[in-house]
Amino acid sequence: MDLPAPLLFLAHPAVQYGLAPFLAALFTVMVLHRLRLGGLALAAAFCTAVWLTVDWTLYPLTPLRKLILIGLVTPPLGLLVDFMARESLAWRIALAALAAAASIWVHEPAPDPASLAAAVILPAWLVMSLLAMNGAPGRSSGAIVALAGGTAVCAAYGEAPVHFSGYAASLASGAGAFLLWLLGTNRKWSAGAVMRLPAATLTGLLLGGAVLQGSTPWSAALLLALVPLAARIPAPQHWALRSQVALVCLYTLAIAAAAVYTLWRPWPETAL
């Protein structure tokens, strides 16, 4: 976007994808946490990054614009889940199927059908696993920080389109702002499906795109897919909330670090 001279600092990628989304997310959670809408922090971070980096037009409907549309649709859908079907397995399955369909819509046509199939399964798995973390805002936000941050590094290293790593970084910034508020107040403010659904869908699409459109190895993507499982490892119940969240972040960031390590030390290549 064109900016006046006093605002040229907003053109720096660190501001567009990191600082500005973080501040927008932090303001959102500060204002809305008592309404149980603090999870909108992630949507605020993503929308801020989009506003600062894209001159928005609907047509032609490129893969990037499709991804942005999905990022705008999933938060209201997450709100609907929070108010109507928070514990529903049927809703989780339906939303996972929608995430798989969204992946086909974004990534088609793909050069390799097997890779496309894996890219379809990835967001569906993340939606199922993250939506199952209901009532655990520390675990879910810690998982999102590690998952989105790892996706950003993998996409950047794999030379995927710059927006892939940037938008993943904005998601990590949004979840990081929510996590910071959680730790600062030492209370379990609701993250809700309004945070977890967009995070799972978008990171799955971005990570799959980093593999299909860049040189990110599937080994890194598969390791990052284990982050939600790492977030479910029990922490001692007698520990304070801050200590429990810190331990969960240690688990998830360790998996993300292992995924990043495979960028330099890849597994033996095999066909998917």
Cβ–Cβ < 8 Å for 257, 154: no
- For residue 271, the model assigns a pLDDT of 46
CA angle 75, 64, 15 (to 5 degrees): 75
Phi then psi dihedrals of residue 25, to 5 deg: -70, -40
Chain length of the chain: 272
Cβ–Cβ < 8 Å for 241, 191: no
> How much is the pTM?
0.91
Task: Flag residues of the chain having pLDDT under 50.
Answer: 271-272
**186 φ/ψ sector (left φ>0, alpha ψ -120 to 50, else beta):** left
Distance CA 272, CA 269 (A): 9
In three-state secondary structure terms, 130 is: helix
Distance CA 253, CA 173 (A): 15
Distance CA 1, CA 55 (A): 6
Q: Could you read off the pLDDT of 160-178 as tens digits, one per residue? A: 888 899 999 999 999 999 9
Q: Give the H/E segment covering residue 80.
A: helix 63-84
Q: Could you read off the pLDDT of 36-52 as tens digits, one per residue? A: 899 999 999 999 999 98
